[in-house]
Structure 1
């Protein structure tokens, strides 16, 4: 099965993605993570105003199979969160990149994205293709 990884996003080992527009990053989980988790039934996200530190847990995502920590792919201050994903976590499963985003953060240092994966690199890493 071929999963979608939009080219305009960057990806990390823990399967979160980052979409950067100026100094605002949109964070979510990749289609690969969704595929591995199965049906997502619950998501816990930080509050607007909270600060994320790259590599640290900022919430959790729960499926019928597992509960996983969400790890910050970049540091910054939460300026928006997707309450629709909290209320109806299945949108993360059906549309992880558009309707199923998780957070928008004001980025502290965009150079933290150095070392993240392009869509092609991420596909090779997770699918071996």
Structure 2
């Protein structure tokens, strides 16, 4: 995920647009995960996946479990160039899934993390 420029922060301040307070943004095996201000993690698809797969044309959650372990299946995706199953980089309780990506696959092809996120997870203690 790209950092927000000072200029964009100034524009956001004057337009009232708030940016999420993500800290500790990391990437593992094509999934970015960022700690939110509430201590939970938001997960999404890293740019490297788009580079390898091209445009994503299909996505589905392989299971509906309420908890997930690191390296469990997170999301099945199909792209212009290949089919992949993305794995979870962390363990924890699943708080929310981005169900909108099933109805509108273009959400995953949008670079905005507020739109293309996959899952929100409360980290395992």
Range into which the TM-score falls when normalised by the shorter chain: 0.7 to 0.9
Higher strand fraction: Structure 1 or Structure 2?
2
Q: Which has the higher contact order (CA 8 A, sep 6+)?
A: 1
Deviation at 1:75, TM superposition (A): 0.3
Report the equivalent of 1:86.
102
CA distance in 1, matches of 2:116, 2:102: 10
Relative to the length of structure 2, the TM-score reads 0.73
CA shift digits 1:86-123 (9 cap, x unpaired): 211222112252210000011104xxxxxxxxxxxxxx
- State yes or no: 1:106 paired with 2:122: yes
- Aligned-pair Cα RMSD in Å: 1.7
Secondary structure in 2 aligned to 1:99? Answer: helix
Alignment of 1:1-129 (within 5 A): 5-7=1-3, 8=23, 9-12=25-28, 14-21=29-36, 22-45=38-61, 46-47=63-64, 50-95=66-111, 97-109=113-125
Q: Where does the alignment leave 5 or more consecutive residues of structure 2 unmatched?
A: 4-22
With over 3 angstroms needed to count, the CA separation of the structure-2 counterparts of 1:96 and 1:65, relative to structure 1, is farther
Q: Where does the alignment leave 5 or more consecutive residues of structure 1 unmatched?
A: 110-129
Relative to the length of structure 1, the TM-score reads 0.71
Report the equivalent of 1:112.
none
- Name the larger-Rg structure: 2
How many corresponding residue pairs? 103
